Amino acid sequence: MSLIQTLRGTGVAVVTPFTADLQVDYRALEKVIESLIAGGVEYIVTLGTTGETPVLETAEKIDIVNFTMDKIAGRIPVVVGIGGNNTAELIKDLHKYPLNKAIAVLSASPYYNKPSQEGIYLHYKALAEASPKPILLYNVPGRTGRNMSAATTLKLSTVPNIVGIKEASGDMAQCMTILRDRPSDFLVVSGDDALALAQLACGMDGVISVAANAYPAEFSNMVRTCLSGNFAAAKTINDPLIEAYELMFAENNPAGVKAFMAEKGLLENYLRLPGVPLSQPLQQAVKLFLSK
């Protein structure tokens, strides 16, 4: 099976649960993993930015990858997030992290540096040449400060060992240009839960989701229904989740989804600074939504 077929559907950018003393809560992480598998998601992404990777130490990241691989035990594929704004350091990380059981590496475009399009191209080209696993691009300008243009994405789509993109620009015209001109074996998945249904209708291959941490069955069923071409049925699944998406991203990710997961008993509602839990009024809105 090709990578584009394997990663077609719903991937989940898994949160990192913490205990009250802000240590990684591996018991809760196992509970989350089992919930996702039981919910029918197609694969997971460990160490994505939703996992609060900027506040994890290297040793913790390596432990999380090993723990996740051990608990999943080959039941579904695992993508490992390795991104940053220091190309040379990332190349070292690609050989430092335990990637032998990973299916691919998801790498966010460099943040803060605000490189030119040529800088973004050369950054990913260097990673692709060094990586022992296929690279998935990740365009998320709302976090990085620089959009990766459709032209750059398409240029990178022909680079050996670059196999797809998580596209989270929110720009539908840009998404449609990529989908029109991509190679047939280049994976394009949504990184915007609220836009996923529309983007799947335009031809995307799936979603790497935040919301599916809290709604794995509903969200993955919506995505599969879209991929089967039944968009009217998918809309009936997605409509009740629209308010959840709004609440999850009203203040901060992953504070929003962690609030939902805490209410569902999957983890304790802790984040490491500078991340903080939702404000009290928004937390109450989450409780009210779930009570309905």
Res 12: pLDDT: 98
**Which residues in the chain show pLDDT less than 50?**
none
pLDDT at residue number 245: 98
Residue 70: the pLDDT is 98
pLDDT of residue 2: 85
Sign of torsion over alpha carbons 65, 260, 219, 164: negative
E runs forming strands in 109-213:
135-139, 162-167, 187-190, 206-209
For residues 181 and 176, give the distance between their C-alpha atoms in angstroms, rounded to a whole number. 9
Domains defined for the chain, CATH in brackets:
3-239 (3.20.20.70)
Q: How far apart are CA 275 and CA 158, in angstroms?
A: 37
Residue 64: predicted pLDDT = 98
Which residues are known to be catalytic? 138, 166
pTM for the predicted model, two decimal places? 0.97
pLDDT value, residue 194: 98
Percent of the chain with pLDDT over 70: 100
